[in-house]
Structure 1
Amino acid sequence: MAEVATSPTSDQLLVVIDPVARRSDGESVRIAKDVLSGGATTKVCLPDGPEEFARALARRGSRRPVLVGDDRALMRAVGLLHRQRELTGCALSLVPVGGALSLARSLGVPTGAVAAARAVLDGAERRMNLLVDDSDGVVLGAVRIPPVGGVMPARETAGEVGYPWLRTCRSVVRTLVPAWPSETAPGTEARPSRLRVEVDGEILVDLHQPVEAVSVVPGTSGRARVEVRPASVGAEASLLLAEGRAVTVSGAHFRYQADAVVSGPVRTRTWVVLEGALGLTLPKR
């Protein structure tokens, strides 16, 4: 996913510490602050909610933003900068702190506080490809569509994490809408989906062919990698593979997981590759 490496352009840092990180691992937060302040001029922000988080990023000026938090903090920041159309001009750094760090690890960010903070100070900016959907949602890692009724991790959306009043609202909504796939009643059997998957306008699989799963991942060549696993009938069905800049999935209402966030149901969704859209500071090779 990495495209181009360049040296960071500013030794003035805006350190934004996510509230979940402060509560879950205060010692790692303290270590990160000490290492960063020992190597650069830092301004530390401690936002208590999404509005303060957004305001801190908007007021960064010439400072390089450094997020101290988990995958959800990174996704929140990338989403905000994308919607403000400032993502391509802003290099982000991350010191992973918290429980959800699989995305940070997959992107190449060290998961130890000292190593990650050192990478912020001494690393290089690498440009990475992203997926952006037709509702302006951003995907850093992968889109996955499970079978109908299949188990999907019960994850909170990025904006809910750390803000109890949003979790309360979600609890109320759950009483009014159908259950998420991960909340399917015990004994309910997952069944294949009937979806049309198009890659750059070419149909990879159509509604007549049931599928077990679909995944879309931003590749290194400015194209998305698409995998479709057809439902097997007798012999094992062959995996369908394709690459392209735009991927459209349509059919009956379906839910999907983009990074750690479950979305839907929707009837159609299109993801387009944005080449080199994210600049992330990583250790030098």
Structure 2
Amino acid sequence: MATPDQLLVVIDPRARRTDGEAVRIAKDVLSAGAASTKVCLPEGPEEFARALSRRGSRRPVVIGDDHALLRTVALLHRQRELAACALSLIPVGSALGLARSLGVPTGAVAAARAALDGVERRLDLLVDDSDGVVLGTLRIPVLPGAAPPEPEDPADAEAGTCAGAEAGGGASGDGSSAGHHSWLRAWPQSLVRTLSTRPARASRPPRPRIWVATGGGAGAGPSRLRVEVDGVMLVDLDQPVEGVSITPGTDGGADVEVRPVSVGAEAAPLHAIGHRVTVSGADFRYRADSLVAGPVRTRTWTVREGAWGLTLPE
């Protein structure tokens, strides 16, 4: 079992780039309040996973955004160590909607104090048949444009620019381009002037990326899905739906809402609470917390009651 006053502080690299000052403040508060603090600065997913697996008796405190929390819960779930581990989160970043919905303070000082003096709250978890986890709300279908690829890492972009400059030859100390234009010296000056004054060919603009959601969404028509809750049919393929949402509750049951397509009068949403939810139909994508998965033709989610613990203010 983890010792409350021995902490493993894992700082997500995105948090360090987004708000280094908030990270420093949180680290100082944790170091001052805990008997022993070990700080890890992983540079990628593999190092992140290795730090968690080698935490020993220390209680993990993650400094990062919703993505860092989801990554931590998924890793501990796959390692079958989630039930015996109370997590703490200090939100740093722009994607903090899940953290707010779970009741985590968004200020660095308040969140760090909650990690030190808060109480563990056991929360339900949705686990699908591919061993994926859902902490908040799951939605079907995904609206077009709702899940674009994550923006390019600024550090990677900068590194790529530097690599390109080195590959093309950098400027020499006397201000000339060393090596890159040395072949011009062997050609007549008239040809050199012709080449240097010729207008550059306009680069072709990149083709726009179009994101299309499979299985419904705005502009894609209604979805035809079969939704079963604990083996009872809630809606079948003959009734088109605008959307489905599944949210883990706090009593071992998932809240399921199906919004049928309105024909004439507005159709009332269908509600159910159950432990096992199966959705099937044509290929569909779904948004679990902040991640998009699929397409799949059938998927089953099961509620794990009190499967994970999160330290929150008293």
Scaled to the shorter chain, the TM-score interval is 0.7 to 0.9
Who is 2:97 aligned against?
102
Question: 8 Å contact 1:231–1:237 — kept in the other structure?
Answer: yes
Distance 1:34 1:43 in 2: 12
Q: Give the TM-score taking structure 2 as reference length.
A: 0.78
Secondary structure in 2 aligned to 1:61?
Answer: coil
Match for residue 154 of structure 1 among 147, 165, 169: 147
Distance 1:16 1:134 in 2: 29
Who is 1:277 aligned against?
307
Q: How does 1:59-138 map to 2 (within 5 A)?
A: 59-138=54-133
Residue 268 to residue 19, structure 1, CA distance change in 2 (3 Å): same
Residue 243 to residue 118, structure 1, CA distance change in 2 (3 Å): same
Residue identity in the other structure for 2:100: R
Q: Give the TM-score taking structure 1 as reference length.
A: 0.86
Q: Can you give the 5+ residue segments of structure 2 that lack an aligned partner in the other structure?
A: 161-206
Q: Spell out structure 1 runs of 4+ moving beyond 3 A.
A: 160-165, 177-180
Distance 1:151 1:66 in 2: 35
Distance 2:38 2:309 in 1: 21
Question: 8 Å contact 1:19–1:162 — kept in the other structure?
Answer: no
Q: After superposition, what is the alpha-carbon deviation per residue over 1:207-266, rounded to whole angstroms, capped at 9, x for unaligned?
A: 000000000000121000000000011110111000000000000000100000011110
What is the CA distance between 1:152 and its match in structure 2? 4.9
Question: 8 Å contact 1:141–1:218 — kept in the other structure?
Answer: yes
Q: Whose Rg is larger?
A: 2
Question: 8 Å contact 2:213–2:220 — kept in the other structure?
Answer: no
Question: 8 Å contact 1:15–1:42 — kept in the other structure?
Answer: yes
What is the CA distance between 1:162 and its match in structure 2? 8.9
What is the CA distance between 1:179 and its match in structure 2? 3.9
1:181 and 2:213 are equivalent in the alignment: yes
Match for residue 258 of structure 1 among 273, 288, 299: 288
Secondary structure in 1 aligned to 2:4?
Answer: coil
Residue 164 to residue 87, structure 1, CA distance change in 2 (3 Å): farther
Who is 1:37 aligned against?
31
Match for residue 249 of structure 1 among 238, 259, 279: 279
Secondary structure in 2 aligned to 1:33?
Answer: helix
Provide the aligned length of Structure 1 versus Structure 2: 260
What is the CA distance between 1:146 and its match in structure 2? 2.6
Residue 213 to residue 161, structure 1, CA distance change in 2 (3 Å): farther
Residue 131 to residue 43, structure 1, CA distance change in 2 (3 Å): same
Question: 8 Å contact 1:127–1:277 — kept in the other structure?
Answer: yes
Residue 276 to residue 161, structure 1, CA distance change in 2 (3 Å): farther
Question: 8 Å contact 1:155–1:261 — kept in the other structure?
Answer: no
Secondary structure in 1 aligned to 2:112?
Answer: helix
